[in-house]
Structure 1
Amino acid sequence: MGYAHYTISRNGEEIEAGYAVETVCEKTGCKEQIDRGLAHLCGATPGGDEYGCGGYFCAEHLLGAPVPEASGQCEPCSKRYDAEHPEDLTAAP
């Protein structure tokens, strides 16, 4: 399978995904043109996983991820992950 265009299931709905699928940022009110490629994905897995919702966001609304498995997280998923994993917020010595 290539990553230009494929179908995924997210929240019980089939959607088109991939870097060749144009869309807009999923942050309410944002009109930034993006694609549904992995670079814009919240979490590590298209469709959603323990790291994110599987939504697609522009650079302004996709925050860094706390784990290498995920490329980024939207703000609600970042806050949820931080609340569930407070040990990840402590700095290493």
Structure 2
Amino acid sequence: MSFSTVNPTTGELAAAFPLQGDEEIFEALVVADRRYREDWRLRTVAERAEIVGRGGRILRESATSTRLCRSWRWERASVSATSRSI
């Protein structure tokens, strides 16, 4: 059994990923917890912001769907508008 991702524009299968069992999920959580304790929590807010920003740039650059990019811009604009009105 697997988890599938479908391109909403074309309806074509974009990717399929095998479902993970309890053991794989537990191991991933252990690794994530260790990385947080030994690295992430020791970084400054500025360092974290740079890393997250870099990840955002990579995601935008690798987006293959114009619709995905438009959706991201719309969500970002909505969040900015909401933030200003608070």
**Structure 2 length normalisation: TM-score?**
0.29
Higher-Rg member (1/2): 2
Larger % of helix: which?
2
RCO higher in 1 or 2 (8 Å CA, sep ≥ 6)?
A: 1
**Structure 1 length normalisation: TM-score?**
0.28
